Structure 1
Amino acid sequence: MESVEELIRDLSSKLGNIAGEFSSRADRIIAAGRATPGGFSADPQAPIDLVARAREVLAVRKARRRYFPPDLFHEPAWEMLVALFIIYETDHSMNVKALVSCSDAPATTSQRWIDHLHKSGLIDRVTDTVDRRRIDISLSDRGHEAMVRYLKDISGIT
């Protein structure tokens, strides 16, 4: 019977392979002229899909784990910010438990980073009015603006 650690390593490896496959496919699409490195349109006037770009950022980060020990590049706060950006553009918030699972860090470490991100003004915390034990987390306006600027910058958009 496999240990939990082995199962997690196996899952992480499989996710890294999937991320690598998506990256390869994106490279082929770009090479075929159907997309640009900063977005998915050959039309330079078309808006860049920043959510797709954020997903790509996460996929590239996870792909590194296939080649290097994961603790070399452990940035739970960054992974949480990128995940919150993706959620902001769709659902707008997620609960603490879901956010902690995005960070690939122990719950206590993630909680400390959530506190730090909140104190930095990058995220908002709202207690659920129905279940006071549940806290929803979302990017603050400041955090969202910073993520948009970052994603545009790495996409070559001014």
Structure 2
Amino acid sequence: MTGATNDESVVALIKDLSARLAAAASGIDERIGQEAPPTTTTTPLHRARALIEQRRLRRRFLPEELFHEPAWDMLLALYVAWQDRQVMNVKTLVSRADAPVTTSQRWIEHLAKLGLVTRVVDPVDRRRIEVSLSDDGRRAIEAYLAAIG
């Protein structure tokens, strides 16, 4: 493809996204002043799962490169695994990040340096590394999920 063709497709995507956002905003404007819809009580786990599903869903409608956040995908996956009392190894976590293996591994390393995740050698298979949220990582994710709840 030529640069002009790429520019044209980006412009078309932006116009389409702008139109969708304008349509959504007009729906919001119409509801302002109306009675608020009933709230539902959801747990942090439900919110985390909903975020994961929303992230998958938007890839069906918009170009994937607009939403490249492997660290966030991994943190959400680790939170759900912690809630479900499941162990996650590096290979499984990398698959949840929807990013190249080397990129995902660099993010795991960075998350560990930030103290958000811990890595432990699998006691049964020493070639595998188990990854989990640290206490600080879990508290940060739960605080975020509470704030958006």
TM (norm. structure 2) is 0.72
Identical residues among aligned pairs (%): 53
**Per-residue CA distance 1:85-135 (angstroms, 9 max, x = gap):** 001111253011110000000111100000000000000100012211011
One-letter amino acid matched to 1:98: T
Instruction: Spell out the pairing of 1:29-40 with structure 2 (5 A cutoff).
Output: 33=38, 36=40, 39=41
Runs of 4+ in 1 over 4 A off after TM superposition: none
**Distance in structure 2 (CA, Å) of the matches to 1:147 and 1:88:** 12
Match of 1:139 in 2: 133
TM (norm. structure 1) is 0.68
Instruction: Spell out the pairing of 1:6-21 with structure 2 (5 A cutoff).
Output: none
User: Cα RMSD (Å) of the superposition?
Assistant: 1.6
8 Å contact from structure 1 (residues 92, 138) kept in 2: no
**Per-residue CA distance 1:46-79 (angstroms, 9 max, x = gap):** xx41111100011111111122101111100000
- Secondary structure at 1:124's aligned position in 2? strand
Number of aligned pairs? 114
Instruction: Spell out the pairing of 1:47-86 with structure 2 (5 A cutoff).
Output: 48-86=42-80
Match of 2:101 in 1: 107
Structure whose alpha-carbon radius of gyration is higher: 2
**Distance in structure 1 (CA, Å) of the matches to 2:87 and 2:138:** 12
Structure 2 residues not aligned, in runs of 5+: 1-36
Tell me which protein shows more helix as a share of its residues: 2
**Distance in structure 2 (CA, Å) of the matches to 1:92 and 1:122:** 17
